Structure formats: C-alpha cells, structure tokens
C-alpha cells in the first residue's frame, strides 16, 4: 500500500503488523509503515512522498505548535526539512526562510558547515550555509525545522551549524517526534515542537506493541 496519502478514521489496537495509524491533532489518523530494527520498530515518514493535503495539514499543525516560541526566521534542514521549512515560515507570517544544503557553492566558507549523519542516511556528509544569508539570522529569533526527530543526530548537526554562526535557536519544530531516543543528548533549554508524536514499538506475540513510556514527553503540540 501507499502510505501518507490520506488521513483515515482513528482506530484502537494493542499490537500492529506492518503499519500503525498514528493519531493526528484533529482526531484522525495517518497510517505509517513500521520499520523493523530488531529490538524495536519505529514509525516511518518520508515527507517528499506525502500527498499535498497531508503536508498542508502537517505544516499547519507544526506552525500552531511552534507559534508560542515567537520565531522571526525559520532554518529548514536538508533534505526533508526543506519540505516544511518554507510553508511553516509562511504560516508563521514570514516573508522568507533559510535553507542550508548538502552541496557547496563556490563562494561558501567551510567555517559555516558541519558534518552530519542521520538514522536513515548513515553516510557522513556536510551541511553548508550560504554566508550571504547570515544577515537574515543576525540578532533574530531562529526556529530550526526538520521532518522527523528520531535519534537526534540530524537536529544536533543543525544546532552545531547555527552555533557556528553564533545563533542558539528558540526551538526545534518537526512534523514527527519519533520515540524518545533523542532525549538523552538533546540540550536542555531548547524546546521541541511537533505536529504529532509516536512511541517506539517492542516485539510481542501478536505483533509490534507500542511502548507508552517511550512516547516523547514535554513537547509543544498543536
């Protein structure tokens, strides 16, 4: 089946097979595949494969969750954070946003780049920030935006990139907060906003069983 194309009616369950109907803020559900990592499974979400109505709803919920942070500019992380960076910035009333990338242009400065890996893309690469965009960030309240926070490695690289230009963001905003594995290394004092959150799943006799204790807590939600 194709995932993340439509919302569906919410359904209850205690164990799940190949997919999970993740509850949405409006009471509906978005069916997500369960990725098997052996001891755990996690809900998958690939933003650039999602239907436009799904993305519009998620962007609206992300903006609603992040609005109390009072951001003045959005920085969207590559690659899938770019799906949300512009629309979330526009929903917050901004006229533009900042999009770091993986490719280096001829005028880029290595001082404004950091290495990164992610749970779904383990090959190391660098995130680059165009130095011509530094005036957009200077002295302003910056919101970091990404698609998913899972282990936290991508978001921590985003924090490092902003630190390289002297910026500590007012928060991170994601579509999906996936379990709590990222909590151990996440800095205190930087709030996390999300459209929705899912727990980790443990193997059970009837399938994958949600682990309520692993559902991320202390999130800003819509």
CATH of the domain spanning 46-198: 3.40.50.2020
**Predicted local distance difference test score (pLDDT) of residue 116:** 84
Please determine, for residue 47, whether its predicted confidence score (pLDDT) is greater than 90.
yes
**Predicted local distance difference test score (pLDDT) of residue 120:** 59
**Predicted local distance difference test score (pLDDT) of residue 122:** 64
Distance CA 56, CA 200 (A): 26
Please determine, for residue 36, whether its predicted confidence score (pLDDT) is greater than 90.
yes
Q: Is the pTM of this model over 0.75?
A: yes
% pLDDT > 70, the chain: 97
Please determine, for residue 54, whether its predicted confidence score (pLDDT) is greater than 80.
yes
Q: What is the mean pLDDT of residues 14-41?
A: 96
Comparing CA positions, the residue from 182, 174, 170, 183 lying closest to residue 147 is: 174
pLDDT digits 0-9 by tens, 88-139: 999 999 999 999 999 999 998 999 999 986 655 666 789 999 999 999 999 9
pLDDT digits 0-9 by tens, 188-221: 999 999 999 999 999 999 999 999 999 998 999 9
pLDDT band at 87 (very low <50, low <70, confident <90, very high): very high
- Domain ranges, ordered by start, for the chain: 46-198
Query: CA-CA distances (angstroms) from residue 145 to 14, 87, 183, 212, 218?
Result: 32, 11, 17, 26, 18
Q: Which two tokens stand for residue 133?
A: 């965009």
For 169-217, the three-class secondary structure string (H helix, E strand, C coil) is: CCEEEEEEEECCHHHHHCCCCCCEEEEEEECEEEEECCEEEEEHHHCCC
Q: What is the mean pLDDT of residues 165-173?
A: 97
Bridge pairing between strands 73-76 and 142-149: parallel
Q: What is the mean pLDDT of residues 39-57?
A: 97
Q: What is the mean pLDDT of residues 162-171?
A: 96
**Predicted local distance difference test score (pLDDT) of residue 119:** 58
Q: What is the mean pLDDT of residues 73-99?
A: 97
Beta strands in the chain (DSSP E): 7-9, 19-23, 28-36, 41-43, 73-76, 113-116, 125-128, 142-149, 171-178, 192-198, 200-204, 207-211
Q: What is the mean pLDDT of residues 56-80?
A: 98
Distance CA 158, CA 144 (A): 7
């Amino acid at each position: 089946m194709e995932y993340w194309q439509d919302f569906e009616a919410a359904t209850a369950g205690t164990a799940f097979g190949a997919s999970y109907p993740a509850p949405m803020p409006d009471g509906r559900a978005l069916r997500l595949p369960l990725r098997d990592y052996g001891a755990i499974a996690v809900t998958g979400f690939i933003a650039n494969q999602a239907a436009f109505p799904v993305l519009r709803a998620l962007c609206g919920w992300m903006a609603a969750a992040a609005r109390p942070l009072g951001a003045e500019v959005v920085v969207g992380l590559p690659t899938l954070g770019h799906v949300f960076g512009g629309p979330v910035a526009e929903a917050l009333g901004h006229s533009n946003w900042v999009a770091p990338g993986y490719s280096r242009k001829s005028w880029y400065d290595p001082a404004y780049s950091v290495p990164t890996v992610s749970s779904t893309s383990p090959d190391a690469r660098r995130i680059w920030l165009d130095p011509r965009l530094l005036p957009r960030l200077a002295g302003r309240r910056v919101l970091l935006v990404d698609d998913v926070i899972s282990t936290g490695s991508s978001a921590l690289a985003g924090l490092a990139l902003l630190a390289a230009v002297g910026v500590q963001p007012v928060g991170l905003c994601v579509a999906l907060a996936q379990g709590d594995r990222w909590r151990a290394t996440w800095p205190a004092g930087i709030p996390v906003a999300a459209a929705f959150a899912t727990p980790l799943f443990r193997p059970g006799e009837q399938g994958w069983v949600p682990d309520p204790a692993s559902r991320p807590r202390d999130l800003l939600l819509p």
